[in-house]
Structure 1
Amino acid sequence: MSNEAQTDYIIAPDPQAARLTRSVSGVDHTGSEVEARVVEERPLTIFLNAQEIVTAMTIGDFPEYLAIGFLRNQGMLQSDDVITRVDYDEDLETVVVRTERQTSYEEKVKKKTRTSGCAVGTVFGDMMEGLDRVTLPRAEVRTSWLYTLANKINTTPSLYLEAGAIHGTVLCCRDRPLVYMEDVGRHNAVDKIAGWMFREGVSAEDKLLYTTGRLTSEMVIKTALMGIPVLASRSGFTAWGVEIARQVGLTCIGRMRGKRFLCLSGADRVLRDMDPEAVPEESKKHRRKSAV
């Protein structure tokens, strides 16, 4: 990537970072010995003040943003909360987020423990409860922005292109990608974006969120709760994801590949200011498979 392209990002992936991948020996389809770079996966336990909240599996970069974003997206951090300190201990693999406000979420944590050891149902239910308070701005989206973003993002050096087995999420403004986060779980990548926005006081009303993952109900809900009015992806949709996007007024654009895309929510806000025939087809070198 050129120096000019690198300066487009406030935060960009660092596929050469030593802690994020390791080299593993194996054999290929011909039986030849090969060395492959594979993504690391490590636990991170998140505390809010004195209470342990959750342990997430993550690649290990930007742990502070991941912790803040997770707590924010689960409604445990309020928009007016003041964070006094964030302490990360690499050896203990813990992050402690401390706030001025006293917090207590024992019932929420107990509720998660009761769901057969899986927090997904509880997390999803808590997120659904906040949707009735969401009002998203009617943000215009230009097709020229979509084509420019797709080209910039898909040609950015990343862990996905280097090692695979990872999801990417990019916060964008118009045709400029701002913050590009990756993780083994697409929700972790979104939470890192949310944590950065909360920590840096970045507004959401003029932003677009791009993800390599599917546009599921959970991804739509998280985007809406963050106040971001546009969600785009290379991958496809789920029916419930589309239904919720229409309910909250989220512009939802999927299957973005080369000159093609599909908008299933908010199509009236898409301004076609560029002829698709003027858009070159994707280079096979940078063509991503849809993340699942």
Structure 2
Amino acid sequence: MNHKSCPDEYPISLVINGYEMAVFQLTKFDLEDWTYGYLFSEGFIQAANDIESIVINEDMGSIHVTLSAAFDEEQVFSKKKHYTAGCGRGVTFFSMTDVKNFDKVTSNQTYQLSYLLKKRSEFAQNSRFYLETGGMHGACIVDEEGNITIREDIGRHNAVDKIIGHALRNGLRPNRLVLLTTGRVSYEMLSKAAKFGFPVIGSRTAATKQAIQLARYLNIEVIGYLRGKMAMIYTAAGRVENDVNPEPLLERCFEGGNQPVELYR
């Protein structure tokens, strides 16, 4: 029998300009990427240079951030918090109504389905901490040269924040990237992808009805059940070409029955 180690999670307090924002359950690696990604996803920063300094104290379980510009703490922290679903629970200040006001994503980049399936396989084979523990989520970006970069965490949304933070810190152009995730694509996951500007997001599992509605409105291509030779394309942005099965099965999604979903297997 193969024995795997247990995945780690720790309570870590995020403090911005002296104000404690919340305590998050995080896996303690790539915390600087997470900090940049989370603050960007939540609208606290618009660019990497909006952060003046970050002090991470793993022993104390704290991340202290100083922003280069002042912000209205009372206005920000008085906003209603929305707690995210799933493991490593997080918090977002964006409602679905807020997300609908994000800029629509524009990109003329297209991908073959076989290419995305291949990259999803590479992602799985190179997810070090999942392979060690069997209990970690991951997020991966595929750049225009086909290179992959992976970040992992106990929480699926934390992993996405980490990969967004990596992209932000390295000045990567979102309209030339694909975001892959191991977790369910829910509305807060879709909002993170939309805020950064990813034109394509793929998952090994499902997307929620709310995420699909937002994706269609914001012009983001969402692909679920991306595994083996199977995939479900929930949207119709025209960024994914089916070169795996020329005759997809059209199935009715849970979204209301009037828009068929293409299922390839």
Q: TM-score, normalised by structure 2?
A: 0.81
1:216-239 Cα deviation digits (max 9, x unpaired):
222112111111110001101211
8 A Cα contact 1:172 1:178, kept in partner: yes
CA RMSD of aligned residues (A): 2.6
1:180-216 Cα deviation digits (max 9, x unpaired):
0111111100111121222222221111100011122
In terms of mean alpha carbon deviation, does 121-130 or 59-68 score higher? 121-130
8 A Cα contact 1:69 1:193, kept in partner: yes
8 A Cα contact 2:100 2:214, kept in partner: no
Q: Which structure 2 residues correspond to residues 5-20 of structure 1 after superposition, within 5 A?
A: none
Which residue is equivalent to 1:50?
A: 18
Which residue is equivalent to 2:263?
A: none
Q: How many residues align?
A: 240
8 A Cα contact 1:68 1:97, kept in partner: no
Query: For 2:61, which of 69, 93, 96 is the aligned residue?
Result: 93
3-state secondary structure, aligned to 1:171? strand
Which residue is equivalent to 1:191?
A: 161
In terms of mean alpha carbon deviation, does 149-158 or 188-197 score higher? 149-158
Which residue is equivalent to 1:133?
A: 102
Q: State the alpha-carbon separation in 2 of the partners of residues 153 and 57 from structure 1.
A: 24
Q: State the alpha-carbon separation in 1 of the partners of residues 48 and 227 from structure 2.
A: 39
Q: Which structure 2 residues correspond to residues 94-243 of structure 1 after superposition, within 5 A?
A: 94-112=62-80, 119-120=83-84, 123=92, 125-126=94-95, 128-138=97-107, 139-174=109-144, 176-243=146-213
Q: State the alpha-carbon separation in 1 of the partners of residues 187 and 217 from structure 2.
A: 12
AA matched with 1:251? E
1:115-134 Cα deviation digits (max 9, x unpaired):
6xx74597253564143231
Which residue is equivalent to 1:254?
A: 224
Q: State the alpha-carbon separation in 2 of the partners of residues 174 and 203 from structure 1.
A: 10
Structure 1: 5+ residue runs without aligned partners? 1-27, 29-33, 278-292
Which residue is equivalent to 1:31?
A: none
3-state secondary structure, aligned to 1:261? strand
AA matched with 2:128? S
Structure 2: 5+ residue runs without aligned partners? 86-90, 247-265
Identity %: 27
Dislocated runs of 4+, deviation >6 Å: none
Q: State the alpha-carbon separation in 1 of the partners of residues 33 and 110 from structure 2.
A: 28
Query: For 2:5, which of 19, 37, 56 is the aligned residue?
Result: 37
8 A Cα contact 1:159 1:166, kept in partner: yes
Q: Is the radius of gyration larger for structure 1 or structure 2? A: 1
Q: State the alpha-carbon separation in 2 of the partners of residues 126 and 155 from structure 1.
A: 35
